[in-house]
Structure 1
Amino acid sequence: MVKQMTVISGKGGTGKTTLTAAFASLATNALMADCDVDAADLHLILKPESTSKLDFNGMEVASINKEKCSACGICRERCRFNAISKELIIDEHTCEGCGVCTLICPEDAIIMKEHKAGEIYRSITRVGPLAHARLGIGEETGGKLVSMVRKNAIEMTSMHDIDLIIIDGPPGIGCSVIASISGVDLVFIVTEPSISGMHDLERVLEVTTHFEIKTIVCINKYDINEQKTALIEEYCRNKGVEVIGKLPLSDIPMKAMLKRKTVIEYEDNSFAGTVIDMWHKIASCDSLKLKY
């Protein structure tokens, strides 16, 4: 049975994608799913070659049939989102899909129609298959798209010899995060020793605890504030959550990303050694028990 691990963080910029790419390059028979659909960036490191692309339709939006429209303007008056112009043209980016205009139109001239909100891809990279997507600007159906990326990833496992799906999840605790962690075997939280890092870690742990998902923690840039690092370690210990590794502040991730490499591929460095040690611990977790 294919195992699934999601890498998440309470906020952006903690090193989540850097570690996801590194783990993918260390794993045997793994598939990646980039579920940070609002700001997908695994492709920047892994240079995927797309093998298929599908349109993603988000929520339905209203559309006016000009031939049936009597230009009474009732729809414009009733639209609380100001999505209908004086010329009775509907802005698809402003329309919230509530459907009120379809109900009150006396001519039945307005219908709800599917609206393209992004694209879903299947790709191949040098470290394995990748399921990913692009969400359109201003679109708000991230949770639905995350679910579809994960479904795509599951379907791809039947075409490849896959033991593990590594999911690069979105930051925060919203519906996209919930969609990226539901049903997985392990959640790997990346945090940092700051006031916001501590606060966001608490919020994310509340979510994983609620869904009863095995969770482990990594503290990135631990040496920028070792007092806060100690507080995070104590907090996790009290919660029964293992801090599986600590990474120092380093310019290696930035240098590797500029070369479009993972930190493992970049060159021999102590930072990569720490990530490798952390991966061995992850692979040995009871919830995964992977070969490495």
Structure 2
Amino acid sequence: TSFTAAMVRLAGRCVAVDADVDAANLALLLPGEDGEWRTFMAGRRPVIARDSCTACLACLDNCPYHAVKLSRSMAPEVVELACEGCGVCSLVCPVGAIHFVGHKAGAWTVRRTAFGPLVHAELGVGEDNSGKLVAELRNEATRLASEERIELVIVDGPPGIGCPVHAAVGRADLVVAVTEPGVAAAHDLLRLLDLARHFHIPAAVVLNKADLDARASRELEALSADRGAPVLASIPFLPDVPKALAQGQGLLDVPLLRPVLEAAWDAIERLLRQPKAA
């Protein structure tokens, strides 16, 4: 996220998207004023009609996630945090007393910053469908870019390789993977580069804390080269970085990192200018 914020600042004007909706924090580094928060509806939740329910407990007995319990009045009720919306309860109810309704899973907004709009969101505790929320943020960013004639959209992707990553990568012109030396990081990097290749998206790599394990960093460089992904920058570990972040500053405010980040941005711009493969 801190690397993305630095790229947004260097871009000058763009639409930024925080796709790490499970733990969004890009807004901490891009101050501004949030607009109206809009509800994100996802999934479905069962509702038990009390006037129709006969308390036969078929829903309680058959729920595979144990998301139905008895209330104090001995009537079945749904535990929302445990419910996966599978529909078994509705299927086995002999009187049709269970129906499904839309469920508020989070909210999103557009923040106006000095560098352009920032589309970010908050996913509710224990909620899923984060991939759908990321897709909604991407669609809003595309609309804003077209409406305000902004050529560049920068997406801060989530960690790992799950559903929200797929939603963040889709339709991209370039994937920049920020990784650190280590076995788990190498595994995720390999899968992300393979994902980018599957969708025919050019990829590049940035090594963070590269000097903590020189051997592992060299292995990551070799892995990246094997996948045709150039290493744009090797960022050293500096104690000044967490100090700057704690004061609300970004990586560009750390003097030793500014030239490294500027070189990385120049390389990204060159890659974006390259003709797209057929």
Task: Give TM-score, length-normalised by structure 2.
Answer: 0.92
Matched, 1:161 2:180: no
Read off the aligned partner of 1:128 and give its amino acid letter: G
Q: Distance in 1 between matches of 2:231 and 2:217?
A: 10
Which of 237, 253, 263 pairs up with 2:241? 253
Matched, 1:65 2:65: no
1:39 is matched with which residue? 23
Residues 176 and 204, structure 2, Cα contact 8 Å, conserved in 1: yes
1:272 is matched with which residue? 258
Q: Distance in 2 between matches of 1:174 and 1:112?
A: 27
1:103 is matched with which residue? 91
2:230 is matched with which residue? 242
Q: Distance in 1 between matches of 2:225 and 2:182?
A: 18
1:186 is matched with which residue? 174
**Structure 1: which 4+ aligned runs deviate by more than 4 Å?**
286-289
Matched ranges for 1:47-58 at <5 A: 47-58=31-42
Bigger RCO (CA 8 Å, 6+ sep): 1
Read off the aligned partner of 1:112 and give its amino acid letter: F
Which of 64, 70, 87 pairs up with 1:86? 70
Read off the aligned partner of 1:231 and give its amino acid letter: E
Higher mean alpha-carbon deviation, 179-188 vs 103-112, is at 103-112
1:281 is matched with which residue? 267
Q: Distance in 2 between matches of 1:210 and 1:250?
A: 35
RMSD: 1.6
Higher mean alpha-carbon deviation, 191-200 vs 25-34, is at 191-200
1:287 positional shift: 4.9
Q: Distance in 1 between matches of 2:32 and 2:134?
A: 19
Equivalences, count: 271
Q: Distance in 1 between matches of 2:115 and 2:203?
A: 25
Shift of the 288–145 alpha-carbon distance from structure 1 to 2, 3 Å rule, reads farther
Which of 163, 173, 176 pairs up with 2:161? 173
Q: Distance in 1 between matches of 2:233 and 2:206?
A: 5
2:218 is matched with which residue? 230
2:103 is matched with which residue? 115
Q: Distance in 2 between matches of 1:238 and 1:182?
A: 23
Which of 196, 200, 205 pairs up with 2:188? 200
Unaligned segments of structure 1, at least 5 residues: 1-16
Q: Distance in 2 between matches of 1:190 and 1:135?
A: 23
1:126 positional shift: 2.7
Shift of the 285–62 alpha-carbon distance from structure 1 to 2, 3 Å rule, reads same
Residues 61 and 112, structure 1, Cα contact 8 Å, conserved in 2: yes
Q: Distance in 2 between matches of 1:127 and 1:254?
A: 23
Read off the aligned partner of 2:19 and give its amino acid letter: C
1:286 positional shift: 4.2
1:47 positional shift: 2.7
Residues 28 and 163, structure 1, Cα contact 8 Å, conserved in 2: no
Residues 173 and 272, structure 2, Cα contact 8 Å, conserved in 1: no
Q: Distance in 2 between matches of 1:221 and 1:238?
A: 21
1:242 positional shift: 0.7
> 1:201-239: per-residue Cα shift (whole Å, max 9, x none)?
112212112222100011111111112222222222222
Matched, 1:142 2:126: no
Residues 33 and 149, structure 1, Cα contact 8 Å, conserved in 2: yes
Task: Give TM-score, length-normalised by structure 1.
Answer: 0.88
Q: What is the percentage of aligned positions where both structures have the same residue?
A: 36
> 1:57-95: per-residue Cα shift (whole Å, max 9, x none)?
110010001111111111111111111112311112211
Instruction: Give the match's secondary structure for 1:193.
Output: coil
Shift of the 25–57 alpha-carbon distance from structure 1 to 2, 3 Å rule, reads same
